[in-house]
Amino acid sequence: MWLTNSSIGRKLIMSITGACLILFLTFHVLMNAVAIVWPTAYNTICQLLGANWYALVASMGLAALFVLHIVYAFILTLQNRKARGNDRYNVTTLPPHVEWSSNNMLVLGIVVVAFLVVHMIQFWAKMQLVEALSHDPATWAVVDGAAANPAMGTLFIHAAFSEVWTPIVYIIGFVALWFHMNHGFWSMFQTAGWNNDTWLPRLKKVACWWTTIVVGLFTIQAVWFTYQAKENAYLNDKELQEQYFETYVETIQHDQEAFQSKAMEIQLSGADQSEMAVKMAELQKEVDAKSTIMTNAIKVFCKDLPQVKALIRQEEEMQKMQQQAPMGGGEEVIADSAAVDTTNVKLQN
């Protein structure tokens, strides 16, 4: 096929996929900007996109664009090297019309991909991937000692930018991205045949402006998020705490409904009494484990809300009573304390 077999066809694939990636980055930087001006709205967008089928299809399309762009980059570079033979080693100074980034697109691209791998581990793997694979809070990533709801983007921004190395890795990635995107932007028009003396200088200017605005905004965001993480802003903000609380309560309600229907299934299964008792005990254990994870997360991420403060106070009092209780009576108090945990959360529903 002409598109994949000819050199110009392969370059066209690079240009089209590159153009789509530039559009994605422009959308991405604007979405990140929402996290700065209105963090709760940002989390709502993350929740809407989440692991819904349309978001998963879009992510798979995006991954395909990245893969095509990278594979064809290697094919074209190998093809160029073959055509030039050993001559490339003889060149020590570049002719004035050849830019430095033009000769280093592959290396710049590899640095961007290395950044992307770190970035995907910090965000995508803990958000969309976790949500797509399971609804079990035991699989959620731990942030500040508690299970973070994968739909709450601000929690993951806090976790990522709390690491001292994150802004350093990001800035290195952004510098490489600037050179790579700036050169790629205008050269894709050149590939498409727009390379006359009037248009090329204009397109180079547009490329430089667009790239500088997008990469500049990413850089400002990385600095802002590092500052916010240092101040614990995404953990202390009251509005965010209320939003976190709502999403955790929703998960608890969802779990309770699932528990009730499973319990009903067991009762209607026709199994004998002892088998039923074993299954119910297993189910109860599962529910208790989930409830402990949720209650802990609420205590960490919603700590300043009055209802959560009351829950924490009540638990502390229970613990005190437990310590003061005479030997032998402790079990009853422990049982009471567990009951306070769940009933308190249920009361807030």
Contact residues toward ligand HEM (CB under 6 A) are 25, 28, 32, 46, 49, 58-59, 62, 112, 116, 119, 123-124, 127-128, 153, 156-157, 170, 177, 218, 221-222, 225
Q: Which of 124/194 has CB closer to ligand HEM?
A: 124
- Give first-to-last CA distance, the chain, whole Å: 60
- Least Å distance, CB 264 to ligand HEM, is 35
Give the contacts of 20 (CB within 8 A, at least 6 positions apart). 65
CB of 140 to ligand HEM, least distance (A): 14
* Shortest Å, Cβ 337 to ligand HEM: 37
CA distance 111 to 115: 6
When the beta carbons of 40 and 59 are compared against ligand HEM, the nearer one is: 59
Cβ neighbours for 86, distance < 8 A, ≥ 6 positions apart? none
The residues near 301 (Cβ < 8 Å, ≥ 6 apart) are 144, 146, 148, 155, 235, 241, 244, 245, 248
CB 51 within 8 A of CB 7: no
**41/4 Cα distance (integer angstroms):** 43
In this complex, which beta carbon is closest to ligand HEM, that of residue 25 or of residue 203?
25
Smallest gap from Cβ 263 to ligand HEM, in A, equals: 34
Q: Are 291 and 342 a contacting pair, CB within 8 Å?
A: yes
What is the spatial distance between Cα 47 and Cα 28, in angstroms, rounded to a whole number?
A: 16
Task: Give, for 232, the enclosing helix (H) or strand (E).
Answer: none
Name the residue with the smallest CB distance to ligand HEM.
Answer: 59
Q: Do β-strands 146-147 and 142-143 pair in parallel, antiparallel, or remain unpaired? A: antiparallel
Which CB, 18 or 153, lies closer to ligand HEM?
153
CB closer to ligand HEM out of 142 and 281? 142
Nearer of residues 122 and 291 to ligand HEM, judged by Cβ: 122
Of 67 and 347, nearer to ligand HEM (C-beta) is: 67
**Angle at the Cα of 150 (from 158 to 297), degrees rounded to 5?**
75
Print burial letters for 66-92: b (CB count within 10 Å at least 16), e (below 16).
eebbbebbeebeeeeeeeeeeeeeeee
How near is the Cβ of 32 to ligand HEM at its closest, in Å? 5
Q: Mutual orientation of helices 199-230 and 165-191 as an angle, nearest 10°?
A: 160
Write down the least CB distance from residue 154 to ligand HEM, Å.
9
CB of 166 to ligand HEM, least distance (A): 9
**Measured from the CB atom, is 215 or 302 closer to ligand HEM?**
215
What's the closest the beta carbon of residue 74 comes to ligand HEM, in angstroms? Answer: 18
